[in-house]
Structure 1
Amino acid sequence: MPAVPKHRQPIINAAVTLFRRQGFARTGLNDIVDVSGAPKGSLYHYFPDGKSSIAVAAVEEAGRRVAATVAELAAECGSTGELLRAHARLLAGWMQGSGFRNGCPITTVLLELAPRERAVSEAGRKAYAARLSILRDKLVADGFARPRAEALAVLCTSALQGALIQARVERSGRPIEVTASELARLIEAEVRS
């Protein structure tokens, strides 16, 4: 029976945290070792292709977490507008809780490595696709045709990602909440018409 990968998940969790806070380039392998508590040899055992393979795993993990959060909100909220507002409150709270040091680990890694690192780019595409499909399905449930729902899902995701950056710069959750509120208003107005 193969051994349980005892240190793999702590390494990924540490990478997600560090990439979110300081980006890929500023995160060293020793930082990941320190935060994860894993022996340094575990990095090379689980990620023999180096730091970029840790980035792939971190983007995949962060993508799963975001998709799970958005799916949970989609199940709880009656409309896409409600979902966007609820997600914005969560994001703004997380940002404020971190002193506006944290960003999206997916975005921070992709900004530094895509398109140069194909495996990282592919992990990013999959992470965004999962989130987009949840939003698209919620928009379809709100009455939008699938092509329009797909376009609106891209708009919402892109706008919120930009709002995260603006929130860090302004040290305020307001850009996130304003963006979500305005997106919700646009969607709700289109539903009514």
Structure 2
Amino acid sequence: MAGRRSDARQKMVSAARELFREQGYHATALSDVLKRSEAPRGSVYFHFPGGKSELAVEAAALHSQEQVDAIDSAAAAATSPAELVRAYLERARTNLTASDYRQGCTIAPLVIESTRDSDELDAVGGRSFETIIAALAGHFAAFGMAPDDARRLADATVAGAEGALITARALRDDAPFDAMIDVLTRSAS
């Protein structure tokens, strides 16, 4: 029984993550999460007594951890900051185009749509982006960049990825990623 409970919890977090990426935080109802996850109705308040905001915090944590894992993997295969920037941005592009321009970032809607309903929900965006930026900056520094330069490049890379996700999604064209890859890899060289 415990395995089924944790399985339902994980499915709900994954479903919420997908839905936030597709339609935003406010447009996602708990009933949408239950339908996508195929979890029993009582599961939401059993696993997430804090409701939708608690579920969103977990979805953001899952997203940022997945991003860090992907960054670590890409850094292991890269030989320079420019290669890591390219890999990070190409992964974001691939994920967006594979979803037919439907799935953006999980964290962005939580930041943009924040209504100060929950201190934890308000804080999760900054915490999640900081985790991703710190992972990139750490790898850039490991490639030999000065810490301040590594941090600036990491900030620009994440900001560029977020901007490219939004504009590419709106335009239904991945050209914004080409521009970000060109500009940021040149500045990383």
Alignment of 1:181 with 2:178, yes or no, is: no
Equivalent pair of 1:59/1:123 in contact (CA under 8 Å): yes
Which amino acid is 1:17 matched to? E
2:44 counterpart residue number: 43
Offset, 1:27 = 0.7
Q: Aligned partners of 1:73, 1:148: CA distance in 2, in Å? A: 20
When the two structures are aligned, how many residues end up with a matched partner? 187
Unaligned runs of 5+ in 2: none
For residues 31-72 of structure 1, give each alpha carbon's deviation from its aligned partner in whole angstroms, at most 9, with x where no partner exists.
100000101100010111111111111111111111111111
Query: What is the TM-score with the length of structure 2 in the denominator?
Result: 0.92
Runs of 4+ in 1 over 4 A off after TM superposition: none
Shift of 1:114: 6.5
> How much has 1:178 moved relative to structure 2?
1.7
Aligned equivalents of 1:170 and 1:57: distance in 2? 30
For 1:17-56, what aligned pairs fall within 5 Å after superposition? 17-56=18-57
Over 3 Å counting, the alpha-carbon distance change for 1:121 and 1:79 in structure 2 is: farther
Cα 1:115/1:148, change in 2 over 3 Å: farther
| C-alpha contact 2:48 2:55 (8 A) present in aligned 1 | yes
Equivalent runs, 1:150-165 vs 2, <5 Å: 150-165=151-166
Q: Answer yes or no: is the 8 Å Cα contact 2:92–2:161 preserved in 1.
A: no
* SS of 1:134 mapped into structure 2: helix
Q: How does 1:78-97 map to 2 (within 5 A)?
A: 78-97=79-98
Distance in 2 (alpha carbons) for counterparts of 1:154 and 1:13: 26
CA contact (8 A) 1:114 1:120 kept: no
Identity between Structure 1 and Structure 2 (%): 31
Q: In structure 1, what residue type is equivalent to 2:2?
A: A
Give the TM-score, by structure 1 length.
Answer: 0.90
CA gap 1:11/1:133 in 2 versus in 1, 3 angstroms: same
Aligned to 1:144: 145
